[in-house]
């Protein structure tokens, strides 16, 4: 049966890809986007756009006339650095929005809420790969806001709502914003390499991350609709693989021009040193794991970036 979903942030990297997937599955999508980091041109034309902030009462009131089968709250700002520059903005855009949308869910009797959380909630974990049972020690206001949102989800799950916090690790791939130099390690480095044949790395090249290709991430998000269990769950969407910053730079170097000038400088505040995720819980609850390895994913990303650099 045709379903209707709210996907917030459909003008952005992940929200637009998720909307495309949902349309391909034959369903309808409504989105709220304030176009702060997203582009209208990313929103598939079949998607109904309500332009504005997710944390605005006016927008929330507009959403009350719909009967959503699930809400995917993807919109948000995803820069740790910006969260330090403007913590109130971060709180409103990432956390207040979550609380208001959960309240909406209850009011319109929508029973499924899926949230774009982040691996940043863990901080620097004691044990790797980090599992969902590990302590959370956020190092940035961004991560504090994501963890607070998760806790709102947990409380709302006691109100007969199924709530799922998906802890995204570092997403990359075609569709990522190549002009936003505040978010997305791969897109930032790739954009620098293609535009100036130079990469400025802020922080230690031995730092490491867990990169997840956009198609894998979208399949993970989609599979969470039919996950096992009710109430609240927090689930890693990760590849389980460790890739250092240096490996990312080398990979770009090998796939772009092969002679890139690399500079290293001081890191950004609240940056985690190294993290990669355990994939077991996602496999158990979602029956999902990643399929695209980093080198193959990067080749596709570089090809796409060369064609779309000036857009
Ligand atoms: N990309 C990643 O690697 C990653 C990792 C962890 C978590 N996340 C989370 O996933 C979500 C999507 O990330 P993305 O990479 O697609 O970012 P993005 O910037 O490409 O997309 C975010 C979209 O949300 C919109 N938006 C932002 N604040 C809004 C608000 N208050 N109201 C309405 N619209 C708003 C933007 O205009 C944009 O279209 C974010 O919540 C982010 O924190 C992303």
pLDDT averaged per 10 residues, the chain (length 311)? 98 98 98 97 98 98 98 96 96 98 96 97 97 97 98 90 97 95 92 94 95 98 95 97 96 86 89 95 98 96 90 72
Q: Is residue 302 part of a domain?
A: yes
Looking at the structure, do residues 266 and 215 belong to the same domain, yes or no?
Answer: no
Q: Is residue 299 part of a domain?
A: yes
Going by C-beta distance under 8 Å and a sequence separation of 6 or more, which residues neighbour residue 45? none
- Give residue 299's domain range: 185-208+242-271+294-308
Alpha-carbon distance of 11 to 40, in angstroms, equals 6
Looking at the structure, do residues 15 and 35 belong to the same domain, yes or no?
Answer: yes
CA 42 to ligand 1: nearest atom: 39
Q: Is residue 77 part of a domain?
A: yes
Supply the pLDDT for residue 256.
85
Supply the pLDDT for residue 160.
79
Q: Is residue 180 part of a domain?
A: no
Where do we find the tokens 């590990």? 134
Q: Is residue 179 part of a domain?
A: no
State what percent of residues in the chain have pLDDT above 70: 100
Distance 52 CA to ligand 1 centre (A): 14
Alpha-carbon distance of 70 to 55, in angstroms, equals 18
Looking at the structure, do residues 263 and 220 belong to the same domain, yes or no?
Answer: no
Distance 76 CA to ligand 1 centre (A): 4
Q: Is residue 177 part of a domain?
A: no
Alpha-carbon distance of 6 to 22, in angstroms, equals 10
Strands 70-73 and 28-33 turn out to be unpaired
Looking at the structure, do residues 255 and 131 belong to the same domain, yes or no?
Answer: no
CA 35 to ligand 1: nearest atom: 37
Tell me if 102 sits within 8 A of 161, measured CB to CB: yes
CA 54 to ligand 1: nearest atom: 32
Q: Is residue 178 part of a domain?
A: no
**Secondary structure letter of residue 122 according to DSSP:** G
Supply the pLDDT for residue 40.
98
Could you tell me the CATH number of the domain that includes residue 47?
3.40.50.720
Looking at the structure, do residues 149 and 38 belong to the same domain, yes or no?
Answer: yes
Q: pLDDT tens-digit profile of 56-99?
A: 999 999 999 999 999 999 999 999 999 999 999 999 999 999 99
What's the distance, Cα to Cα, between the start and end of the chain in Å?
Answer: 37
Looking at the structure, do residues 165 and 202 belong to the same domain, yes or no?
Answer: no
CA 117 to ligand 1: nearest atom: 7
Could you tell me the CATH number of the domain that includes residue 203?
3.90.25
List the structure tokens of 170: 């570092």
Alpha-carbon distance of 294 to 85, in angstroms, equals 32
Question: 3-state SS string over 268-288?
Answer: CCCCCCECCECCHHHHHHHCC
Looking at the structure, do residues 18 and 142 belong to the same domain, yes or no?
Answer: yes
Looking at the structure, do residues 124 and 265 belong to the same domain, yes or no?
Answer: no
Helix (H, G, I), strand (E, B) or coil at 83: helix
Looking at the structure, do residues 11 and 23 belong to the same domain, yes or no?
Answer: yes
φ and ψ at residue 159, rounded to 5 degrees: -105, 40
Going by alpha carbons, the residue nearest to atom 40 of ligand 1 is 76
Binding pocket residue ranges, ligand 1, CB within 6 Å:
8-9, 11-15, 32-38, 53-55, 74-78, 93, 97, 116, 118, 168, 170-171, 177, 184
Supply the pLDDT for residue 311.
72
Supply the pLDDT for residue 218.
98
Looking at the structure, do residues 54 and 84 belong to the same domain, yes or no?
Answer: yes
Ligand 1 pocket mutation pick from 75, 86, 183, 294 by most atoms within 8 angstroms of CB: 75
Question: Up-side HSE of residue 135: CA atoms within 13 Å toward CB?
Answer: 6
Q: Is residue 115 part of a domain?
A: yes
Looking at the structure, do residues 68 and 160 belong to the same domain, yes or no?
Answer: yes
List the structure tokens of 195: 């535009």
Q: For 46-181, list the strands marked E by DSSP.
A: 48-51, 70-73, 112-118, 162-168, 170-172
**Secondary structure letter of residue 294 according to DSSP:** H
Task: Please give the tally of structural domains in the chain.
Answer: 2
Looking at the structure, do residues 139 and 13 belong to the same domain, yes or no?
Answer: yes
Q: Nearest-CA neighbor of 79 among 159, 126, 147, 142?
A: 142
pTM here is 0.97
Ligand 1 pocket mutation pick from 7, 14, 167, 217 by most atoms within 8 angstroms of CB: 14
């Amino acid at each position: 049966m045709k379903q209707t979903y709210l996907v917030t942030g459909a003008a952005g990297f992940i929200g637009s890809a998720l909307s495309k997937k949902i349309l391909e599955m034959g369903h309808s999508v409504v989105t709220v986007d304030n176009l702060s980091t997203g582009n209208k041109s990313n929103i598939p034309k079949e998607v109904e756009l309500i332009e504005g902030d997710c944390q605005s009462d006016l927008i929330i009131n507009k959403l009350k006339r719909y009967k959503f089968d699930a809400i995917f709250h993807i919109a948000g700002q995803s820069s740790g650095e910006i969260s330090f520059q403007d913590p109130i903005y971060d709180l409103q855009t990432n956390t207040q929005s979550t609380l208001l949308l959960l309240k909406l869910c209850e009011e319109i009797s929508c029973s499924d809420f899926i949230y774009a959380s982040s691996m940043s909630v863990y901080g620097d974990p004691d044990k790797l790969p980090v599992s969902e049972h590990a302590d959370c020690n956020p190092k940035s206001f961004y991560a504090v806001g994501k963890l607070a949102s998760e806790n709102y989800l947990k409380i709302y799950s006691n109100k007969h709502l199924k709530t799922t916090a998906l802890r995204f690790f570092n997403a990359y791939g075609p569709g990522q914003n190549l002009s936003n130099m505040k978010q997305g390690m791969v897109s930032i480095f790739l954009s620098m390499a293609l535009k100036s044949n130079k990469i400025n790395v802020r922080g230690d090249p031995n730092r490491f991350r867990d990169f997840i290709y956009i198609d894998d991430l979208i399949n993970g998000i989609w599979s969470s609709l039919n996950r096992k269990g009710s109430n609240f769950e927090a689930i890693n969407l990760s590849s389980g693989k460790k890739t250092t910053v240096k490996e990312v730079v080398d990979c770009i170097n090998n796939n772009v021009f092969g002679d890139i000038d690399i500079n290293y400088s001081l890191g950004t505040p609240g940056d985690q040193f190294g993290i990669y995720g355990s994939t077991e819980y996602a496999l158990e609850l979602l029956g999902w794991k990643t399929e695209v390895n980093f080198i193959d994913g990067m080749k596709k990303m570089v090809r796409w970036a060369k064609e779309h650099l000036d857009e």
